[in-house]
């Protein structure tokens, strides 16, 4: 390698390093304003950091959080999605996208991303709490819609008592086995299975991402984990680890 080319590369690397340092300094300064709730000032600094480097994932995630605090979830969603284009497994961006969707009222979509984050980082309680609050929001929405609909009387179908007893027994055994193997995750699996049966779920499906497919993926993941645990402990119940809300919260990224 000749000397001019070597010097050119060294100079380019030096410029990149300087941009990264300057961007970090801007983010650190913005964080100080975030802590005192001066979100407008913080936003200006995040803007400067992204003007220097449009692919700064840390700045994108931090600005997404700032937009949420300013009551602009639409812009928060855009920044989170941009960060996910750069890295689809960016756990902070997944969390920010789930939060932005929640504040936009897209609860089913939000639930899927909280579940995605929970699969990637099951030790983080923030994703567990996100799943809980979105489930409650969906249940409240469905409950309000159901109250306004006329109730239909179920049609009774008589079955032989012996067959009914056998069917219920088999279903109950399967549920108990699943509950024993999955632990706390069984509640999520049961919820997703019931969600797929709800007729209003199709309305939440979009051309870009199908909520039904995401729910099925989550159920398949839980089924695979259940089978893995069944092979590991075929005769004993699994004591699922409980997430500590204090130690399992998302780290202080921003």
Q: What is the pLDDT of residue 234?
A: 45
The DSSP H or E segment spanning 7 is: helix 3-35
Please report whether residue 242 resides in a domain. no
224-242 pLDDT tens trace: 777 666 655 543 333 444 3
Q: What is the pLDDT of residue 44?
A: 96
User: In the predicted model, is pLDDT for residue 108 greater than 50?
Assistant: yes
Cα separation, 187 vs 253, in Å, equals 30
Give 92 or 224, the one with higher predicted confidence. 92
- List the CATH number of the domain containing 89: 1.25.40.10
The tally of domains found in the chain comes to 2
Are residues 192 and 99 located together in one domain of the fold?
no
> How much is the pLDDT for 27?
95
67 and 128 housed in the same domain: yes
**Cα distances (Å, whole numbers) of residue 151 to 6, 67, 155, 201:** 78, 42, 13, 19
Domain of 202 in residue numbering reads as 170-232
* Cα separation values, 162 from 16, 91, 166, 168, 169, Å: 75, 51, 6, 10, 11
Assess whether 133 and 177 both reside in one domain: no
The yes-or-no verdict on residue 251 having pLDDT over 60 is: no
With respect to residue 7, please indicate whether it lies within any of the assigned structural domains: no
Q: What is the pLDDT of residue 143?
A: 63
Residues 59-70: pLDDT tens digits? 999 999 999 999
Please tell me the pTM assigned to this model.
0.57
CB atoms within 10 A of CB 6: 10
Q: What percent of the chain has pLDDT over 70?
A: 66
Q: Please check whether residue 73 lies inside any domain of the structure.
A: yes
Mean pLDDT of 14-29: 85
pLDDT tens column, 150-187: 555 555 555 555 544 445 566 777 777 777 777 777 78
Instruction: Tell me: do 132 and 175 sit in the same domain.
Output: no
């Amino acid at each position: 390698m000749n000397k001019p080319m070597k010097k050119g590369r060294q100079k380019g690397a030096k410029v990149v390093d300087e941009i990264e340092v300057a961007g970090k300094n801007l983010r650190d300064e913005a964080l100080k304003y975030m802590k005192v709730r001066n979100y407008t000032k913080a936003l200006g600094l995040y803007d400067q950091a992204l003007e220097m480097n449009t692919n700064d994932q840390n700045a994108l995630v931090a600005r997404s959080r700032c937009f949420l605090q300013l009551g602009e979830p639409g812009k928060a969603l855009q920044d989170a999605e941009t960060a996910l284009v750069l890295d689809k497994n960016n756990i902070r961006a997944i969390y920010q996208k789930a939060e932005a969707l929640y504040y936009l009222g897209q609860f089913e979509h939000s639930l899927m991303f909280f579940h995605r984050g929970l699969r990637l980082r099951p030790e983080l309680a923030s994703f567990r709490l996100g799943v809980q609050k979105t489930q409650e929001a969906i249940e409240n929405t469905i409950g309000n819609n159901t109250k306004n609909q006329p109730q239909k009387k179920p049609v009774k179908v008589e079955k032989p008592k012996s067959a009914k007893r056998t069917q219920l027994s088999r279903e109950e055994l399967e549920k108990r086995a699943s509950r024993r193997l999955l632990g706390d995750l069984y509640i999520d699996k049961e919820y997703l299975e019931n969600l797929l049966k709800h007729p209003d779920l199709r309305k939440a499906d979009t051309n870009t991402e199908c909520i039904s497919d995401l729910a099925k993926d989550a159920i398949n993941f839980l089924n695979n984990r259940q089978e893995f645990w069944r092979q590991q402990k075929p005769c004993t119940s699994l004591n699922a680890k409980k997430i500590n809300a204090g130690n399992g919260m998302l780290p202080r990224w921003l």
